[in-house]
Amino acid sequence: MAMSPKTTTPAVSGADAAPSIPSTSAQDADLAEDRGVEVTLLKRELFARVVAATDAKKPQVKQIVEATLAIIGQALADGEALNLPPLGKVRIVRSRDAGSAEVITLKLRRKGRSAALGAEDEES
């Protein structure tokens, strides 16, 4: 029986704050990890979360997210490193061809959770 992850909307304060983005709760993620289940964000869920965070129309969100993912994918295929806050810095560790697919191993460097939360508190 598949479990659907619950989503929550974090509180956002300040005039410069980014829109709130629904996310899988930490408790749900811990539960999935305890059961050995990988939590995967699918494209349709990404679209729904962006729609909820921005109040934009779904067709517009779909077009923008698809274009963004294509650009990020092409940048990685071209060997470019990415610096995309708040996601973090992404660099390619290894790349190889595996038959009909290209396998790219990435390293993602993010700010520590406590450091990121402290920075938000200072801004408010």
17 pLDDT band (50/70/90 cuts)? very low
- The number of CA neighbours under 13 Å toward the Cβ of 49 is 18
92 pLDDT band (50/70/90 cuts)? very high
Inform me whether the pLDDT recorded for 16 exceeds 50: no
Q: Is the pTM of this model over 0.75?
A: no
User: Could you tell me which of 89, 93, 81, 85 has the C-alpha nearest to residue 108?
Assistant: 89
pLDDT digits (tens, 9 = 90+) for 29-51: 666 667 778 899 999 999 999 99
Helix (H, G, I), strand (E, B) or coil at 38: coil
Which run of H or of E encompasses 24? strand 23-24
How far apart are alpha carbons 108 and 86 in whole angstroms?
11
Which run of H or of E encompasses 117? helix 113-123
